[in-house]
Amino acid sequence: MQAADDALGCDVEVGPFAGPGGLDAGDAVERLRLRLVHARIISSPEAIVSSMEGNLRWILVTAVAPVAWGVNYFVTQRFLPPDHPLFGAAVRALPAGLLLLALCRELPRGVWWWRSAVLGLLNTSAFFVLVYTASQLLATSVASTVMALAPLAMMLAGWALLGERPRPAHLAGAGIGLGGVCLMLLGGTGGASPSGVLASVAAMLVSSLGFVLGKRWGAGAGLLASTAWQLVAGGLFLLPVAAVAEGPPPALGASELTAFGYTAVVATAVAFAAWFAGLRRLPAGTVGLVGLLNPFTGVLLGTLLAGESLTPRQLAGMALILGGIVLGRPVGAGRPRPAVSPPSSRTRPAASPAGCPRAPSHPAPDPTPPTGT
């Protein structure tokens, strides 16, 4: 390349021909970058659809837990020994925790020793004993329906502890679901035991707090590991208390052993792993609304298997519960922003060997046209 002859010709150079279309290398790179940005923006609807499909997948995974818990009300009431809530809760928690611990093969470290103890007391010891008591004192439909108040409790706890402000759709879904709960309770034929309702409400409150704390602390440990630790901790807390308060364990037949097997493996190990997986990937309010499937399952089983009556009012309540779940589902991700910054208003000219600025080979993409020479 030859430099200009004099100062008056500093904008004129002799060099190789420009590339195809009159673009030099810098312009070609700039246009390629703009095309990549444009392609990224155009593909955003596909990203939104992918995000919605991912949310739906995790909602279905999370739904395993409330369905299993709804079945567990029926199993506890029909097959497990009454008057032994501490023993029943310990047998439910400890085998499930040991099973998950054998799968993950990881022990707590650091702060997870005391975190496991706190979560074990809330999500296992207190929750399982209260649920066992409520299942023995209430009809299957009523016991599982009271727990449908959990979405509101989880939204408030998530707001206070996680900073997850409930969306209007979450609040509307919780209100509709609560209306369905009221219809289902008022539609029953039998009265509800005050002690059973109190136990069910207490179970809902302690579990909502424990679940939100588990979501807040979950980043420091694996899913199976943290679930196993709190189940083992809760079971170990319950064993000595059950031995002192209830004496020797009751005699168990084949039906009781089978029921305890379902309670420990399906309603605890599998259900808790699915529930905490949903809490890690979905807002606490959405997970709480998915929990409305608990009373839905309980009412269906109570009607189909336990001979409990199902009135039109309860059917309307079930429809409202499903509507609340659909309304509170998470929205898809918004349009992703480009990963690269937009180009500058005009390309900065490079200096020629003679020290004069080199004129760009074509006008820069600027709404103001460049001045002529």
Specify the pLDDT at position 190.
54
Per the domain annotation, does 308 fall within a domain?
yes
Specify the pLDDT at position 56.
82
Rounded distance, CA 117 to CA 217, Å? Answer: 13
Reported confidence tier of residue 326, pLDDT bands at 50, 70, 90 = confident
The answer to whether 27 touches 361, Cβ cutoff 8 Å, is yes
Reported confidence tier of residue 238, pLDDT bands at 50, 70, 90 = very high
Q: Please give the residue that has the higher pLDDT: either 155 or 232.
A: 232
Point out the least confidently predicted range of 57-61, 184-188, 308-312, 326-330.
Answer: 184-188
What are the two backbone dihedrals, phi and then psi, of residue 349, each rounded to the nearest 5 degrees? -70, 145
Per the domain annotation, does 193 fall within a domain?
yes
Among candidate residues 130, 122, 132, 126, the one with its CA nearest the CA of residue 72: 132
Averaged confidence pLDDT in the chain: 76
Rounded distance, CA 68 to CA 266, Å? Answer: 7
Q: Which neighbouring-strand residues pair with 14?
A: 2
Q: Looking at the predicted structure, is the pLDDT value of residue 34 above 60?
A: no
Reported confidence tier of residue 140, pLDDT bands at 50, 70, 90 = low
Q: Please give the residue that has the higher pLDDT: either 27 or 352.
A: 27
Reported confidence tier of residue 355, pLDDT bands at 50, 70, 90 = very low
Collect all residues with Cβ–Cβ distance below 8 Å to 51 and sequence separation of at least 6.
Answer: 332, 333
The answer to whether 77 touches 193, Cβ cutoff 8 Å, is no
Specify the pLDDT at position 120.
95
Q: List own/partner pairs for 54-60 with CB under 8 A and 24 or more apart.
A: 55/282, 55/329, 55/330, 55/332, 56/329, 58/277, 58/278, 58/281, 58/282, 59/278, 59/282, 59/286, 59/290, 59/329
Q: Radius of gyration over alpha carbons of the chain, in Å?
A: 31
Domain that holds residue 221: 44-327
Specify the pLDDT at position 68.
93
Collect all residues with Cβ–Cβ distance below 8 Å to 240 and sequence separation of at least 6.
Answer: none
Per the domain annotation, does 350 fall within a domain?
no
Distances (CA, A) of 57 to 64, 138, 330, 337: 12, 33, 12, 25
Per the domain annotation, does 31 fall within a domain?
no
Which residue stretches of the chain are H helix? 25-42, 44-79, 85-104, 112-119, 127-137, 140-146, 150-162, 168-186, 194-217, 223-246, 254-261, 271-281, 284-290, 293-304, 312-327
Rounded distance, CA 331 to CA 283, Å? Answer: 11
Per the domain annotation, does 363 fall within a domain?
no
Q: List own/partner pairs for 22-28 with CB under 8 A and 24 or more apart.
A: 22/361, 22/362, 23/361, 23/362, 24/361, 26/347, 27/347, 27/360, 27/361, 27/362
Q: List own/partner pairs for 30-39 with CB under 8 A and 24 or more apart.
A: 30/343, 30/347, 33/340, 33/343, 34/343, 36/340, 37/338, 37/340, 37/342
User: Average pLDDT of 235-262?
Assistant: 93
Q: Looking at the predicted structure, is the pLDDT value of residue 346 above 60?
A: no
337: amino acid identity, one letter: R
As given in the structure block, the two tokens for residue 95 are 């085998």
- Residue bearing tokens 């567990």: 72
Rounded distance, CA 192 to CA 353, Å? Answer: 93
Specify the pLDDT at position 366.
44
Rounded distance, CA 176 to CA 190, Å? Answer: 24
What's this model's pTM, rounded to 2 decimal places?
A: 0.65
Per the domain annotation, does 5 fall within a domain?
no
Per the domain annotation, does 2 fall within a domain?
no
User: Average pLDDT of 174-178?
Assistant: 79
Stretch (H or E) spanning 149:
none
Residue range 198-210, pLDDT digits in tens = 988 898 899 889 9
- How many domains does the chain fold into? 1
The answer to whether 129 touches 85, Cβ cutoff 8 Å, is yes
Per the domain annotation, does 24 fall within a domain?
no
Among candidate residues 170, 177, 143, 173, the one with its CA nearest the CA of residue 292: 177
